[in-house]
Chains A and B, each alone.
Chain A
Amino acid sequence: MPSQLSIEEVGRVAHLARLELTDTEKQRLTGQLNDLLAQFSQLQEIDTTGIPPTSHPFLLRNVMREDVARPSLSRDKATQNAPEKRDGNFIVPQIVEG
């Protein structure tokens, strides 16, 4: 269990989360996250040996439906909220060089 998060580590997590934080934000979040981490240390008091994790309140098996075609959103509707689009496609910055 790490004791304290450094501002550099906060920057690394921000990149994982795809958030470009300002220095002020990084500073503030470092403090806030460390406060929360201190709270989480309470959980280490609990012996959870052999206790299964709960990922969902009730045991659900995989829910399947018949593999049949059915109507879905039209291309127009699916792209209606795109900030930038052309000919029914989403426009993004160039990803591959060349």
Chain B
Amino acid sequence: MELYELAAHEAAAKLRSKEISARELTQASLDRIASVDLSVHAFVTVTGEAALAQADAVDKKIAAGEEISPLAGIPLALKDNLCTAGVETTCSSRILRGFIPPYDATVVTKLNDAGSIFVGKANLDEFAMGSSTENSGLFTSANPWDIESVPGGSSGGSAAAVAAGEAFWSLGSDTGGSIRQPAAFTGTVGVKPTYGRVSRYGLIAFASSLDQIGPITRDVRDAAFLMNAICGHDPLDSTSAPVDTPDFTKALTGDIKGIKIGVPKEYFAQGVDPAISAATRKAIDQMVELGAIAEEISLPYSEYALPTYYIIAPAEASSNLARYDGVRFGHRTRRATGHVDLFEKTREEGFGDEVKQRIMIGTYALSAGYYDAFYLKAQQVRTLIKRDFDNAFEKYDVIVTPTTPTVAFKIGQKSNDPLEMKLNDILTIPANMAGIPAVSLPCGFEGGLPVGLQIMAPAFGEEVMLRVAHAYEQANDWHRRRPTL
């Protein structure tokens, strides 16, 4: 295996044993970016020089015999909706081109403090609205397993970078599946933590009651290490939960005897590719062989999660995106004659089609006369979706489903059919609605493309979720496969 293909914890072990240096690791990532990113297009910005300087600082610490964190010296990619002081942060939108944040997101500060190496900012669907990166206002990223296919989205660049060996791990954000769906499409591990587990300070807001930052990695152990570093209460985010962060790696015992798995029949229904259902059921059978107990359950309101999401998320987005007005930052029209005209033309020029569509639906759903019929109704249905999960978790430790209805599709295949595109997230949205944690990890291949398995757990139940994910992963070798580029 090449250096750039190692799991982050494997690279960290070599760093500790002084077999390699942080500079060598960083150079390996940068070389890999130079050789494959012209076809993968994972990065909006590559910060090579700064990365090498960070690496040298870590090497100095190692040479001085200082204790270093498990993240130190390991190259990482950041989704380009995470604010990085002094480094352009675009949200892959024309409206934010050239925006240089004056401060770091809390997760960026935490990773920086841990000695993490930032190799660059990864592409996304504009403002994280999409499932393929085709809505990026800059360019479309490719799937390293088949460069004619999408890497998923919205954290498509973050997932593609990890799968392609351009970064050892990355951070994404997940509002309706934007970490888990691209992880499924690229054969990586993607965690959406419990809402409130990770500070959203400095994450450019899309839908504030749903957004959550999380890791995309090559195996479950790496995800646990990154979770250890990014979780925790933050006074700068009033929705961040005042709960302690456990050492998630301690949960990876390999023992899942007696774990109760709920298998919701609605997640294997029409629209889910039979090959994906079969791969998921095979994975569940394997968990049973490892000592878990699986039973069919029902989450009847999950089928309403998609329309509920497409009211709540755009409503919140229409409010969050009101700040892009051409006054304080970002693009400003040159054609304005008055202040309202300045706002309207700036936003017309700066936002892409999908973002405009969501702002429109959100504005409509919140407008006078329609609030009760749409927004209030959706919030009530959200309660019912959440109650389904509350009831299920009284009896079951985790819920296991496919992550996506299909494997990665071809670039252009669904981009003209917004409804078809939105079906991508049908199995991932319910976890955001309920605020619970969920992970996607590889459970097979279909036509040469990775298949993702989703494990959901009760709020703040990441430990049992990662324990089950790790036990399954270690009984297989999907996480050791690497694409040929």
Q: Which of A50-79 contact B (CB under 8 A)?
A: 51-58, 60, 63, 65, 73, 77-79
Kindly state whether residue A98 has any CB partner on chain B within 8 Å. Answer: no
CB neighbours (8 Å) of B330 from chain A are: 81, 83
The answer to whether A80 touches B318 (Cβ under 8 A) is no
Closest Cβ–Cβ distance, residue A92 to chain B (whole Å): 6
Residue in contact with A53 in the complex, picked from B238, B306, B382, CB distance below 8 Å? B382
A10 at interface by CB-CB < 8 Å: yes
Q: Are B196 and A58 interface neighbours, CB within 8 A?
A: yes
What residues of chain B lie closer than 8 Å to A5, measured between beta carbons?
364
**Chain B contacts with A in 309-333, Cβ cutoff 8 A:** 310-311, 318, 322, 325-332
Q: How far is the CA of A64 from the CA of B235 in the complex (A)?
A: 9
Chain A interface SS verdict (over half): loop
Interface residues in B327-350 (C-beta closer than 8 Å to A): 327-332, 336-345, 347-348
A25 touches B339 (CB 8 A): no
- List the B side residues contacting A46 at CB < 8 Å: 301, 304, 381, 384
Contact with A along B368-383 (1 / 0, CB 8 A): 0010011011111111
Task: Please name the residue on chain B nearest to A5 by beta carbon.
Answer: B364
Chain B 93-105: CB-based contact to A (< 8 A → 1; otherwise 0) = 0000011101100
Indicate if the CB atoms of A57 and B434 lie closer than 8 Å.
Answer: yes
| Chain B residues within an 8 Å CB radius of A53 | 376, 379-380, 382-383
Question: What 1/0 flags go to A7-27 for Cβ under 8 Å of B?
Answer: 000100111111111100100
Which residue of chain A is the closest to B322 with respect to CB atoms? Answer: A18
Check B357–A83 contact: CB distance below 8 A.
Answer: no
A20 near B347 with CB under 8 A, answer yes
Q: A19-B356, A53-B382, A57-B386 are in contact. Are A93 and B304 (CB under 8 A)?
A: no
The reply to whether A56 and B239 form a contact with Cβ atoms under 8 Å apart is yes
- Which residues of B have CB within 8 Å of A16? 363, 367
Q: How many residue pairs, one in A and one in B, have C-beta atoms under 8 Å apart?
A: 156
Residue from the set B356, B359, B364, B367 with the largest chain A CB neighbour count within 10 Å: B364
Min distance, Cβ A76 to any Cβ of chain B, angstroms? 9
Indicate whether B459 reaches chain A with its CB closer than 8 angstroms: yes
Which residue of chain A is the closest to B363 with respect to CB atoms? Answer: A17
Contact across chains for A65 and B328 when beta carbons are under 8 A apart: no
Chain A residues with Cβ under 8 A from B386's Cβ?
Answer: 54, 57
Report yes or no: A48 in contact with B377, Cβ–Cβ below 8 A. Answer: yes
Smallest CB gap from B337: residue in A: A93
Complex interface: chain A residues within 8 A of B381 (CB): 43, 46, 48
Q: How far is the CA of A35 from the CA of B322 in the complex (A)?
A: 24
Check B419 for interface membership: any CB of A closer than 8 A: yes
> In the complex, how many residues of chain B place their beta carbon closer than 8 angstroms to a beta carbon of chain A?
69
Q: A13-B367, A29-B360 are in contact. Are A18 and B325 (CB under 8 A)?
A: yes
Known A53-B383, A81-B328, A81-B329; judge A13-B345 contact (CB<8 A).
no
A93→B360 contact, CB < 8 A: no
- Neighbouring A residues of B345 by C-beta, 8 Å: 20
Contact residue among B102, B380, B435 (Cβ-Cβ distance under 8 Å from A48): B380
Q: Which of B278-325 contact A (CB under 8 A)?
A: 301, 304, 306-308, 310-311, 318, 322, 325
Instruction: State whether A93 and B339 are in contact (beta carbons under 8 Å apart), knowing that A43-B377, A51-B383 are contacts in the complex.
Output: yes
Indicate whether B396 reaches chain A with its CB closer than 8 angstroms. no
- Which residues of chain B are within 8 angstroms of A19 by Cβ–Cβ distance? 344, 347-348, 351, 356, 359-360
Instruction: Considering the complex, give the chain A residue whose CB is closest to the CB of B311.
Output: A40
Contact (Cβ within 8 A) A93 B377? no
Residues of A within 8 Å of B307, CB to CB, are 39-40, 42-43
Bound-complex Cα distance A46 to B388 (A): 14
Instruction: Give Cα A43–Cα B341 distance, bound, in whole angstroms.
Output: 37
In this complex, the member of B103, B342, B348, B380 whose beta carbon has the largest number of chain A beta carbons within 10 angstroms is: B380
Q: CA A5 – CA B361 in complex, angstroms?
A: 11
**Which of A13, A20, A22, A82 is in CB contact (< 8 Å) with B364?**
A13
* Residues of chain B with a CB closer than 8 A to A14's CB: 360
Q: A19-B344, A21-B356, A83-B326 are in contact. List 9 more A-B contacts (CB 8 A).
A: A16-B363, A17-B360, A19-B359, A33-B357, A43-B304, A51-B383, A57-B195, A58-B241, A79-B328
Of the A-B pairs whose beta carbons lie under 8 Å apart in the complex, a sample of 15, sorted by A's number, is: A2-B370, A16-B363, A18-B343, A32-B418, A33-B357, A33-B360, A44-B377, A51-B380, A53-B382, A57-B435, A73-B103, A81-B102, A83-B330, A83-B331, A95-B339
